[in-house]
Chain A
Amino acid sequence: MTLEIRDISKSFGGFKALDGMTLTIDSKGLFGIIGPNGAGKSTLFSVVSGFQHADSGEIRMDGKVIDKLSPPERARAGMVRTFQVPREFSHLTVRENLMAAAPGQAGESLVGLFFRPGQVRKEEAAIAEKVATTIEFLRLGKVADVPSGKLSGGQKKLLELGRALMVDPTLILLDEPFAGVNPVLIGEIMERIAELNTRGIGFVIIEHDLQALTRLVPRLAVMDRGRLLAEGAPAAVLEDPVVREAYLGGAS
C-alpha cells in the first residue's frame, strides 16, 4: 500500500512550485511533510488530489497511475484531502456539513429522493448517528448546530478533518490540521489520529507545528523549493545539516 510521487513538476507562470518532486509514502502509515513557506507542500497535495495537473511526472496509488482521475474520483478511490484554508460550507451547520460528506446516499439523486423515500429516511438515520459520533470525537458538540461560517479557525480545521472522516477514506491528506487549534485539543486530536491509524486509515500531514508533528509521525519528508530535501525518522532528519540550512535558515 503505497502512494508514489514520481518526478512531479508544476510551474505557475515562471515560478516552479514543484521541481522534480519524488517521494514514496506508505499509505497505511503516519507520514509528515515539512518545509519552509513556498516549498511546494500544498501544491503537492493539490497535484496528488487532482486539483492541479502536474506539468510532468506521475502519481501512483497502490501501483496504479491515477493521473487521469478527477478529484472526486480520487476521493472515491479512498484518498481524501483537506485544505490549508478551511473550506467549510459556511451556510450549513456543522452537522449538515458532516452529513453532506457521507458517501453514496440514495437521497442525493432526485429520483431516489422522490421515489425511494423509505430508503432515504433509513440512510439519513444511519448517517445522523455516524455524524453524532464524529462530532463527539472532534469535541464539536457545542457548535454542532451553528452555521459553520461562524466557527473559529481551529474549529473549522476540526470540521475539515471530520468531513474527511465521513467519507470512509483509506488515506487522508491533512494540510496543516493544527493551525489555530488550541494546544490542549491538538494533543487530543493527535491521539485520535494515532487511534484512527491503528484502525487502518493512513495520514499524510503537512504541519508547521514541528513539535506536535514529530511526536505523531514515525517518518517525515522535508521539502524545499519544490524538491525533496530529506526523508526519514524525525530525529535524524532534523539533525541533517542540509535540512537545518534550508529549514532553519542556517541557524545552528
Chain B
Amino acid sequence: MEAYLLAIGIIALIYVLLSLGLTLQYGLTGLINFGHVGFFAIGAYTSTLLVMNGAPFIVGFAAAALLAGIAAWPIGLVALRLRDDYFAIVTLGFSEVVRIVLTSERWLTQGVQGIPGIPRLFDSLKGTTGQLATFATVLVVTIAAAWMIRRIAGSPFGRIIEAIRDNEEAVQALGKDPPRFKIQVLVVGAALAGIAGAFYAHYITYIVPEQYIPLVTFYVWMAVIMGGVGRVSGAVVGSVILVAFLEGSRFIRDVIPGISAVDMASIRIGLVGLLLILFVLYRPQGLMGDYTKR
C-alpha cells in the first residue's frame, strides 16, 4: 500500500512539473501550447539514452532540460509570428513529429519496441526506501520549479507576459517585443517538461513512443483548467485531482464485472472527459480560482 501511494505520488508530481510549465506558458502568457508532450518525450529519451550509455543521472537530467529547451527555440522563432490558434496547431504538429521520429529512428530509440531496463534513481536502496528517496527528489525539484514560477509571476517579467496575454499590440505600442518574452517562456516551460520526462523514464524504467501521444498534453491541460488557469497552486491541485482520478477509475473494473481491459481504457477517457465538462460547467475558474479572480 505504501509503495502504491508513493508510486501515485511520484506520477502526480511529474504531472505537477508538466502543469507548472503550462501554467507559465498558457496561464500567464496565453500561449496555447498543444505540444507539451513533445518536450516531455525529448526529456525522457535524452536522459534514458545518456544514462544507459554510462552518463551519471545528473548529466542525463541536465541534458533532458537543455535539449527540451533548445527544441522549443526554433518552434518559438517560427511559430510566434502566428496567431493563437495557428500556434496551437503548430505545437500539436511538433509533438507528433517528435513521436514519429522516435518511432522511426530505430537505431537510436528501438522504435515501437521501446527501451526497457532503464536505470532507476536510488536503485541500490532496499524496499520502499528507494521509492521514498525518488519521491523526495521529485518533490524538491517540483517545489523549486513552483518557487521559480511564482517568482517569475510576481516580477517585472511576469507583468509583461501577463500584459501580452491581455493585449499583445498594446505591449508593442509601449516599446516591448513580445516574441522575446514568449520565446523565454516557451524554453523554460519546455525545460520543465524535459525534466519531468527524465523523472518519468527513470521511474517507470520502460519508454516507448506510444506513451507520448497528444492525450498526455490534454491531461496536463485538464489539470491546469481544473486547478485554476494561471495559478501555481492550481497546477498542483489540478494535477493531484487528475492523477487521483486516473488511478481511481482503475478500480471501476473491480466494482462492475464484465468490463475488458480494452473497454476500460475507453471508459476511462470518457470519464475524464465528463469530469472536464463538469468542471467547465460548474467551476470554470478551477478549484483555486484563475487569474481573472484576484
Instruction: Spell out A's residues near B (CB within 8 Å).
Output: 49, 51, 70-73, 75-76, 80-83, 87-92, 96-97, 99-101, 103, 105-110, 113-114, 120, 123-124, 147, 163-164, 166-167
Contact = CB atoms under 8 A, between A and B. Distances in A.
A167 B166 contact: no
A108 B188 contact: no
Contact of A101 (B165, B169, B174, B181): B174
A97 B162 CA distance: 10
B151 A113 contact: yes
B157 interface: yes
Contact of A103 (B159, B175, B184, B294): B175
A100 B151 contact: no
A75 to B, nearest CB: 3
A91 B169 contact: no
23 contacts: A51-B169, A71-B172, A72-B172, A75-B174, A75-B175, A80-B173, A80-B175, A83-B170, A89-B162, A89-B166, A91-B166, A92-B159, A100-B159, A103-B175, A107-B155, A107-B156, A108-B160, A113-B156, A123-B156, A147-B294, A163-B174, A166-B174, A167-B175
A87 B172 contact: no
Interface of B: 151-152, 155-157, 159-160, 162-163, 165-167, 169-177, 181, 184, 188, 291-292, 294
**What 3 A-B pairs have minimum CB-CB distances, sorted nearest first?**
A75-B175, A107-B156, A87-B170
Given A51-B173, A75-B173, A108-B181, 12 more contacts: A71-B169, A71-B172, A75-B172, A80-B173, A80-B175, A83-B173, A87-B167, A92-B159, A107-B156, A110-B184, A113-B155, A163-B174
A153 B173 CA distance: 20
Contacts of A97: 163
Contacts of A91: 162, 165-166, 291-292, 294
Nearest to A166: B174
A205 to B, nearest CB: 16
Contacts of A114: 151
Contact of A89 (B152, B155, B167): B167
Contacts of A106: 156
Contact of A72 (B156, B175, B184): B175
A97 B184 CA distance: 21
B155 A70 contact: no
B162 A92 contact: yes
B159 A80 contact: no
The listed residue with most A CB atoms (<10 A of its CB), out of B151, B162, B171, B175, is B175
A99 B279 CA distance: 35
Given A109-B157, A113-B155, A92 B166 contact: yes
Nearest to B163: A89
B150 to A, nearest CB: 12
A120 B156 contact: yes
A120 B173 contact: no
A22 B292 CA distance: 44
